[in-house]
Every structure is written in structure tokens, then in C-alpha cells.
Amino acid sequence: MGFGETAFTVTDVKHYAYCPTIIYIKYVLGVKETTTEYMKMGREIHYEKKILPIIAKYKPLTVEKTPYLACKKLSFSGIPDYLLVTSHGYGVIVEVKWAEPSRSGIKKDHKLQLGAYALLAERSKNIVVRKGVVYYLKPQPKLYEITITGKLLKEAEKIMKKIKEIVVKGAPPNPKISWRKCKGCNYTRYCPTPAKKPAQTHRHNPRKRL
């Protein structure tokens, strides 16, 4: 089965990292994601002033806002919020998120999103991306940075292949996903294998006798 140049997007990599079943729901069942108020807010906060601290740190020679990146061989495309090229010649991918970081910093699905963008930047623009930055705006604006390693690039490319496999097979995967993730997913109502809600334990609290 052949795929077009823009058959899949980097957002799909992020979705797969969150839950592989989302790919099945989107491409096999044909369900489109509902735009939430949270997503609308995220689209509205991508102003240049938000990345001024990043500009000050990296002092880039060029700053591309929402550059289109695509690789025909991978059948993936993507549009990061910003692509910086430093005076040393390497790239920096920047994503602005109306979200909170994880306890350890950048969330796993966001790391893979950065890795996928970096892979496309190298394949389509011949720009080697060495750094990835996520600017989380909640609860307080804060920058988080990671190094784009070869391991991350390979992991992102591996996920791209797995995404295609799900679509070709046309069968839902059965990942081990927590109820907490299912609860926060926009596709839960369409999911063939949702996680079960954990049973609530009630402590016995007998009334005191008078």
C-alpha cells in the first residue's frame, strides 16, 4: 500500500506516543478530532513575543515561523511553531504549548513530536536539528529544552513505520493505557478498547453511637 507525501503528519506521531489506538480511530474509522476550547486557545497564543527568551538564548541567524516540512519517502509532513538556525549552523525546533509539563519536564509525546520535526527538517531542508524546546505556558510560562539525539530520531522514525502498519492492517492495536489517559482523550467515545475505570474503594466510616 502506497502513501502520499502528506499522508501522515507529525501530530500523528504525537498521538501514537499518547495512544496508538488514536491512529486506528483517525485513519481506519475515519473519525476527525473535535476542536476543543483548549485547542483553540493553543492556536491563539503563538505570538512572536512568546519566544523572545528563546531568541535571546540561541541568538539565531534565521527564524522561520510555521515552516512546512515534508518527506516523500517517509510520507510525513509537519509544521512546527518555529524553526531556528543558529550561527553555528544547527537547527532548533520550538513548540509553544498551552499545557503543563510533566513532573520530569517535557512530556514523552511532545519529545517524540520534536524528534519527528527534527527528522523532517533534516530530510527536507538539510538542517541538522540539535535542540528541541517546548515553551509550556501553564501553570506559569517556562522553557524546557532537550538534545535531539540519534536515539530520539530513530524512535520517531520507528513510530512513523508503526503508524503505517496500523493503517495497512486495519485492526485496532491493544495498548496498555491508563484510565487517566483515556479520560483526557478526545477520541475515547470511539475507542474499541478503552481502559476500564478503576473501582473506587470506600472506607467504612460507621456512625458513632450516641
How is the chain split into domains, by residue range?
A: 8-189
Query: Which pTM was predicted?
Result: 0.86
**Top-confidence residue, 185 or 67:** 67
Three-class secondary structure assignment of 28-56: HCCCCCCCCHHHHHHHHCCCHHHHHHHHH
Please give the pLDDT value at position 167: 96
Alpha carbons 80 and 136: distance in angstroms, whole number = 15
pLDDT of 173 higher than 60: yes
**CA dist list (Å): 32 to 44, 62, 107, 163, 177:** 21, 35, 24, 16, 21
pLDDT of 55 higher than 70: yes
Please give the pLDDT value at position 178: 82
pLDDT of 122 higher than 70: yes
Greatest extent of the chain over all pairs of C-alpha atoms, in Å: 80
Region 129-155 average pLDDT: 95
Please give the pLDDT value at position 201: 55
Q: Please answer whether residues 137 and 149 qualify as being in contact, where contact means their C-beta atoms are separated by less than 8 angstroms.
A: no
Please give the pLDDT value at position 110: 98
Strand partners, 135: 96, 143
Confidence category of residue 204, pLDDT binned at 50, 70, 90: low
Region 44-51 average pLDDT: 63
Backbone angles phi, psi at 86, to 5 degrees: -85, 170
Region 4-11 average pLDDT: 82
Residue type at 201?
T
Q: Please answer whether residues 95 and 113 qualify as being in contact, where contact means their C-beta atoms are separated by less than 8 angstroms.
A: yes
Q: Please answer whether residues 64 and 70 qualify as being in contact, where contact means their C-beta atoms are separated by less than 8 angstroms.
A: no
**Top-confidence residue, 62 or 5:** 62
3-state secondary structure of 138: coil
pLDDT of 142 higher than 70: yes
Mean pLDDT of all residues belonging to the chain: 87
pLDDT of 72 higher than 50: yes
Please give the pLDDT value at position 193: 80
Name which of 32-41, 46-55, 100-109 the model is least confident about.
32-41
Percent of the chain with pLDDT over 70: 84
Please give the pLDDT value at position 210: 42
| The three three-digit cell numbers of residue 160, written as one number | 512513523
Element holding 69 (H helix, E strand): strand 69-71
Please give the pLDDT value at position 98: 87
Q: What is the CATH number of domain 8-189?
A: 3.90.320.10
